[in-house]
């Protein structure tokens, strides 16, 4: 059924590696389209970072993702139901749990930006919503057709750029026809 839907990842902890897949959204339906309306990442850092801040990238994938944890879909209208062929996958099944995927092969990078970096860990830093797509999605459709997917992932200059003291939450909102 057509409508608007959303999903949020569990809190994902940095993996101290140079890459980390946070969330995918895919459309495997042959007759339906998925329009991505918004993807955001919130990053909480609990220690000063002495390395380059991690890059948060949103990329199309070369195929349909696998693995990870299938996330529950939020309903904007409780009389609507999301298409079972629209699948959102996260990296962990519980807040702060072990990272377990999803697995996806990066194709074209759509958007990238640096995450938060604390020079010192003194005081309070509020985590802003970091948009993972260009602002033009407010005006133009970003479409996922059959067997297309988006991947939100971390690409760090070094393992020390994505320490286990970083925490991420990814939110996605979409429309189905």
Q: Is the pLDDT of residue 81 over 80?
A: yes
d(CA 90, CA 12): 9
**Encoded tokens for 98:** 């072990």
pLDDT at 163: 87
Which two structure tokens, joined as six digits, stand for 111?
């958007």
In sequence order, what are the beta bridge partners of 112?
A: 57
CA-to-CA distance for 150 and 133, rounded, in angstroms?
Answer: 11
Provide the mean pLDDT of the chain: 90
Give per-residue pLDDT as tens, 19-77: 999 999 999 999 999 999 999 999 888 777 778 888 999 999 999 999 999 999 999 99
* Mean pLDDT to the nearest integer, 102-115: 94
Q: Read off the pLDDT of residues 135-169 as tens digits, 9 standing for 90 and up.
A: 999 899 999 999 999 999 999 888 788 888 888 99
Please say whether the beta carbons of 22 and 91 come within 8 A: yes
Structure confidence at residue 11 (pLDDT): 94
């Amino acid at each position: 059924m057509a409508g608007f839907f959303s999903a949020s990842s569990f809190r994902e902890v940095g993996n101290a590696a140079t890459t980390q897949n946070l969330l995918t959204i895919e459309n495997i339906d042959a007759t339906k389209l998925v329009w991505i309306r918004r993807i955001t990442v919130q990053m909480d850092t609990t220690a000063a970072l002495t390395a380059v801040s991690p890059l948060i990238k949103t990329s199309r994938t070369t195929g349909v993702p696998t693995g990870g944890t299938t996330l529950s879909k939020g309903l904007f209208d409780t009389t609507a139901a999301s298409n079972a062929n629209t699948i959102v996958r996260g990296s962990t099944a519980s807040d702060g749990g072990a990272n377990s995927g999803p697995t996806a092969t990066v194709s074209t990078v759509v958007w990238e930006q640096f995450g938060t970096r604390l020079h010192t860990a003194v005081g309070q830093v509020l985590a802003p919503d970091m948009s993972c797509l260009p602002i033009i999605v407010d005006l133009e459709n970003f479409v996922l057709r059959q067997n297309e997917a988006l991947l939100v992932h971390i690409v760090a200059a070094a393992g020390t750029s994505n320490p286990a003291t970083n925490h991420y939450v990814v939110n996605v909102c979409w429309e189905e026809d």
